[in-house]
Each structure stands twice: as structure tokens, then as C-alpha cells.
């Protein structure tokens, strides 16, 4: 295990070995948890195994201690989602997310469909691609660099159906 800096948690600073002893886990276990999880999760998840077998990972949040499964049930998310979130975010953030992290619908970026009018006909780029029987990316790329008259001219598009 590489040498690490002292860890300050709840106003107390100790080495990994000292914290591990206080938390009743092996130093290497605490070190691995500190690599995988945020500090507050690594320091509050308790001992996972005893001599009898596997114990649930206990997490304390706002004075309430529960297993990961119980927190997942309360939050309405799966164990793997909970684990992934703990790797990316602090425990406070994970608990505040609830079921979804996505922003509310009004905050989400709304994608607009680009309409293109040529020779009196208005279609989406996908519509023009279908009409000209070419890939829609071809139409996008041509519209980026050519005037619309050339971009949508069937005679000038390689591979376009001439019929």
C-alpha cells in the first residue's frame, strides 16, 4: 500500500492505519475504499465482513444508519446505480438525487429539427435524404459547405438516385 497523506474527517486528522483501526477494517480495505468512494462514504460504511460471513455495508446519513439495500429502496434506485453514484458524487449529493439525476424537463436542452426549403418544398434534412436517396449525413455536410441549390441538387450528389 503506497504512503498516503493524513486524512481529516469530522475535524479529526489521522493516518489511514489509525482510521482503519478505529473503523475496525484493514488499512488496505480503507485505502481501496478511499480510491473508489468519496471520503464521507469510505469513512462511514463500516465493516463489511465478520467471522460468520458477509454483513451489509452500512451507511450513515443525517444520523440514520442503513444498509445499501435499504438506502436504495428508500431512494427508489438499484444497487449498481447507487454504487456508481457513490463513486462520482458525495454522499449528500447521492442522497439528494433521488430516482433521477437528469434536470427537469423545462431545464433540458430541446433539440430542434432543422427544416430546409428548396424549390418550394420544405422538408427536414432526413426528409431530403430520403427523397434524394442518400445518407442524411451527406445532406448535413453538403449544407455546411455549399449553397442550398448545390447541396440539394441531385445531379451533383454522388450516388444519388437519378430517377
CA–CA separation, 150 and 157 (whole Å): 9
DSSP letter for 104, please.
P
Q: Residue 91 contacts by C-beta under 8 Å, 6 or more apart in sequence?
A: 38, 40, 41, 44, 59, 61
Sign of the Cα torsion 82, 26, 15, 64 reads positive
Pick 45 or 23 by higher pLDDT.
23
Statement: residue 51 has pLDDT above 50: no
Q: What is the pLDDT of residue 49?
A: 47
Grid cell, residue 146, equals: 455549399
Statement: residue 116 has pLDDT above 60: yes
Confidence of residue 32 (pLDDT cuts 50, 70, 90): confident
> Could you read off the pLDDT of 54-69 as tens digits, one per residue?
556 678 888 888 888 7
Q: What is the pLDDT of residue 13?
A: 92
Percent of the chain with pLDDT over 70: 77
The mean of the pLDDT values for the chain is: 78
What is residue 123's three-state secondary structure? Answer: strand
- Model pTM score: 0.35
Statement: residue 11 has pLDDT above 60: yes
Statement: residue 52 has pLDDT above 50: no
How many angstroms separate the Cα of 22 from the Cα of each of 9, 35, 46, 102, 160? 12, 19, 10, 38, 72
Amino acid at each position: 500500500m503506497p504512503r498516503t497523506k493524513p486524512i481529516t474527517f469530522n475535524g479529526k486528522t489521522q493516518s489511514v492505519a489509525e482510521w482503519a483501526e478505529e473503523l475496525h477494517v484493514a488499512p488496505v480495505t480503507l485505502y481501496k475504499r478511499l480510491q473508489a468512494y468519496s471520503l464521507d462514504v469510505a469513512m462511514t460504511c463500516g465493516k463489511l465482513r465478520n467471522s460468520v460471513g458477509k454483513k451489509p455495508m452500512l451507511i450513515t446519513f443525517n444520523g440514520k444508519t442503513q444498509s445499501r439495500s435499504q438506502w436504495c429502496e428508500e431512494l427508489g434506485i438499484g444497487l449498481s446505480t447507487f454504487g456508481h453514484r457513490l463513486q462520482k458524487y458525495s454522499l449528500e449529493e447521492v442522497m439528494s438525487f433521488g430516482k433521477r439525476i437528469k434536470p427537469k424537463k423545462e431545464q433540458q436542452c430541446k433539440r430542434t429539427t432543422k427544416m430546409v426549403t428548396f424549390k418550394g418544398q420544405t422538408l427536414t434534412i432526413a426528409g431530403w435524404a430520403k427523397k434524394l436517396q442518400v445518407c442524411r449525413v451527406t445532406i448535413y455536410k453538403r449544407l455546411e459547405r455549399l449553397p442550398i441549390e448545390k447541396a440539394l441538387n441531385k445531379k451533383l450528389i454522388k450516388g444519388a438516385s437519378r430517377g
